[in-house]
Amino acid sequence: MNEEFDFPFEDEKVILTDEDGNDVQFEFCASVMYEDNEYVVLLPEDEDEVVILQVVEPDDNDASDEATYVGVEDDDVLNAVFELFRSEAGDEYEFVDQP
């Protein structure tokens, strides 16, 4: 399994536009490589649960040269990426186990 972690400087903010055209601010928590795909772990402003998105780099046919962020539908991938993040985050974040 290919795993890589990147924890940026504290308080790094990211603004993404949702499917309705609304800007949403997140705290960038980490970048995680899992099975040759890059994922970002984001904490929405005023929320307690992280969002995990897959980073999709543009290919040669794309007019835009910007990466896009795609929701992850596979629960096994979500859980694996979250557990990797959780194990590497250590004391950076407080985790609460859900019943």
pLDDT tens digits, one per residue of 31-50: 999 999 999 999 998 888 89
Range of the domain at 34: 3-89
Say if 43 falls within a structural domain: yes
pLDDT at 98: 66
Say if 55 falls within a structural domain: yes
Say if 95 falls within a structural domain: no
Q: HSE on the CB side for 15, CA within 13 Å?
A: 3
Going by their DSSP bridges, the two strands 13-17 and 3-6 should be labelled as unpaired
Say if 21 falls within a structural domain: yes
- The pTM score is 0.77
Say if 64 falls within a structural domain: yes
Number of separate domains in the chain? 1
> What confidence category does residue 9 fall into, taking pLDDT thresholds of 50, 70 and 90?
very low
- What are the phi and psi torsion angles at 21 (to 5°)? 85, 10
